[in-house]
């Protein structure tokens, strides 16, 4: 017999599908707020992850499943699913569980192409399920505060929005050269979709109700190609490469010397060890750990930089620049309206508001908003997103930040068409929302 949906005076129950890093972050909200959320099951092909989740959240082995299909074959026993599977698996794991009637918190991107997006929206319409996408930056105090200022109208009509994301050299090498998102033929996502769909979503959110009408894009893979490898570079960093102590992308310097960095990616093969030693890590590298490969010989094919230009229905314009290989990770935003402008850096948790004013000699007034005391975790957004999902499941009401899937279509479609433009020499691609209305 299928369980009733949680009411406002009892916690909602959820099953984790894909027991990786992001799912556990959202699931751990239940440990801090057991009156709001209970984790009651898991679906994951990795038996150790199933065991660890059952112990962590206190459910029995009969609530452990090998995959989403197996979970979908038993009667519904929870209110919702937290779907943190890999990008290419989002549609295939979401579809059977939505048809079973589960509401869902679904990791971004919610689909890897437009055809999947259209099919997923059809299933949601047919089932009446509630789906929220993990565009967690909308919930970070920095971006939420900027959105509130824009929504108040104090900047006037928005003329232009500029966003940029500098992807650090260690993030680029770990995730997009050596890691899971290095080859679009395997992961089925472009770098723009995997990394910057957050930023394009922020752009679309800030511009609402103005909608994107056309997009153009350029980008390429310049850095990590076999012909750029230093002379005498080996195929593996440890123990083979004579440059292991000097190369800035050496696996020894990035990972062995800093073993706490990128644990959930680099050391996933030994995640069952409670307290791994240097010898354990060395053994992992010796046994074929992909993060030990020469950075120039990884067979990656995704771009390491890309620029996107958007025209909105009002005539306003937007740009996003994603640059991989920067010394420091950084996200910037600059919004210019007919009455004033806002600019700031996400990592600084601080932004400046300048308003047109003929009275001062400089011609404007200036205000600095400092949010640096706010929580960490995507700028304080992880817990706020989870809490909003719980409210959305309980009440159906959408907050200012709410990432209900219909609010995420504009960003995803813009990314799909930007990549199509890039692959075709920057040709302008019109954006048509008719199939989704």
434 CB neighbour count, 10 Å cutoff: 5
Q: Which CATH superfamily is domain 138-223+302-377+404-436 in?
A: Dihydrodipicolinate Reductase; domain 2 (3.30.360.10)
Question: Residue 408 and residue 398: Cα distance in Å, rounded?
Answer: 13
CATH 3.30.360.10 in the chain is located at 138-223+302-377+404-436
Structure tokens at 187: 């992961």
DSSP three-state, residue 393? helix
Q: How many residues does the chain have?
A: 437
- Give the per-residue pLDDT at 3: 44
Structure tokens at 211: 């909608």
- Give the per-residue pLDDT at 434: 81
- Give the per-residue pLDDT at 437: 66
**What residues form DSSP beta bridges with 297?**
none
**What residues form DSSP beta bridges with 131?**
104
- Give the per-residue pLDDT at 8: 62
Domain 12-107 in CATH 3.40.640.10? The answer is no
DSSP three-state, residue 29? helix
15 with 40: CB under 8 angstroms?
A: yes
- Give the per-residue pLDDT at 2: 45
Question: Residue 237 and residue 235: Cα distance in Å, rounded?
Answer: 7
Edge-first strand listing for the sheet containing 330-337? 364-370, 350-356, 340-345, 330-337, 158-168, 317-326, 305-312, 212-220, 429-430
Full DSSP string of 249-300: T-HIIIIISSTTTTHHHHTGGGTT-SS--HHHHHHHHHTT-GGGB-TTSS--
DSSP state of 337: E
- Give the per-residue pLDDT at 264: 85
CATH 3.40.50.720 in the chain is located at 12-107
Full DSSP string of 177-218: ISSTTS-HHHH---HHHHHHHHHHHHHHHHHTTS-EEEEEEE
Pairing, β 158-168 against β 131-133:
unpaired
- For residues 234-251, one letter each, b for 16 or more C-beta atoms within 10 angstroms of the residue's C-beta and e for the rest, the string is bebbbeebebbeebebbb
Question: How far, in Å, are 65, 251, 265 from residue 21 at the CA level?
Answer: 18, 22, 9
Four-point Cα dihedral 143, 148, 151, 157, nearest 10 = -70
Tens digit of pLDDT at every position of the chain (437 positions): 344 444 567 899 999 999 988 999 999 999 999 999 999 999 999 999 999 999 999 999 999 999 999 999 999 999 999 999 999 999 999 999 999 999 999 999 999 999 999 999 999 999 999 999 999 999 999 999 999 999 999 999 999 999 999 999 999 999 999 999 999 999 999 999 999 999 999 999 999 999 999 999 999 999 999 999 999 999 999 999 999 999 999 999 999 999 998 988 999 888 888 889 999 999 999 999 999 999 999 999 999 999 999 999 999 999 999 999 999 999 999 999 999 999 999 999 999 999 999 999 999 999 999 998 765 555 578 999 999 999 999 999 999 999 999 999 999 999 999 999 999 999 999 999 887 76
Q: Does the model's pTM come out above 0.75?
A: yes
If you compute the radius of gyration of the chain from its CA atoms, what whole number of angstroms results? 23
């Amino acid at each position: 017999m299928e369980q009733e949906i949680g009411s406002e005076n009892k916690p909602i129950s959820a099953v984790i599908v894909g027991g990786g890093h992001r799912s556990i972050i959202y699931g751990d909200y239940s440990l801090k707020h057991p009156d709001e959320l209970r984790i009651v099951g898991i679906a994951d092909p990795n038996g150790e992850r199933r065991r660890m989740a059952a112990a962590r959240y206190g459910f029995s082995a009969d609530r452990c499943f090998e995959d989403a299909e197996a979970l979908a074959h038993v009667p519904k026993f929870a209110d919702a699913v937290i779907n943190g599977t890999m990008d290419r698996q989002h549609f295939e794991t979401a579809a059977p569980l939505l048809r079973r009637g589960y509401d869902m918190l679904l990791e971004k991107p919610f689909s890897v192409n437009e055809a999947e997006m259209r099919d997923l929206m059809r299933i949601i319409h047919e089932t009446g399920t509630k789906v929220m996408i993990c565009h967690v930056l909308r919930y970070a105090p920095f971006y939420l505060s900027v959105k509130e200022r824009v929504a108040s109208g104090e900047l006037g009509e928005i003329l232009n929005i500029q966003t940029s994301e500098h992807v650090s050299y260690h993030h680029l090498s770990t995730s997009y050269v050596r890691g899971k998102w290095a080859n679009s033929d395997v992961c089925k996502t472009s770098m723009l979709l995997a990394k910057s769909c957050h930023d394009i979503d922020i752009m679309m959110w800030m511009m609402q109700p103005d909608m994107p009408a056309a997009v153009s894009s350029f980008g390429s893979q310049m850095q990590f190609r076999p012909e750029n490898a230093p002379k005498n570079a080996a195929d593996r960093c440890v123990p083979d490469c004579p440059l292991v102590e000097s190369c800035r992308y050496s696996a020894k310097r990035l990972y062995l010397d800093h073993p706490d960095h990128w644990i959930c990616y680099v050391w996933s093969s030994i995640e069952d060890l409670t307290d791994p030693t240097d010898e354990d890590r060395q053994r992992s590298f010796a046994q074929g750990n992909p993060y030990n490969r020469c950075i120039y010989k990884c067979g990656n094919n995704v771009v390491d930089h890309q620029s996107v230009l958007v025209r909105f229905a009002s005539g306003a314009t937007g740009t996003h620049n994603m640059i991989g290989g920067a010394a420091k990770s950084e996200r910037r935003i600059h919004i210019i309206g007919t009455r004033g402008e806002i600019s700031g850096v996400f990592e600084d948790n601080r932004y400046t508001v300048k308003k047109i004013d003929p009275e001062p000699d400089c011609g404007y007034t200036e205000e600095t908003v400092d949010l640096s005391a706010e929580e960490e975790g995507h700028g304080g957004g992880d817990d706020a997103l989870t809490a909003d999902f719980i409210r959305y499941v309980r009440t159906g009401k959408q907050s200012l930040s709410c990432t209900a899937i219909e609010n995420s279509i504009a960003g995803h479609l813009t990314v799909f068409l930007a990549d199509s433009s890039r692959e075709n020499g920057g040709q302008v691609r019109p954006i048509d929302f008719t199939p989704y209305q």
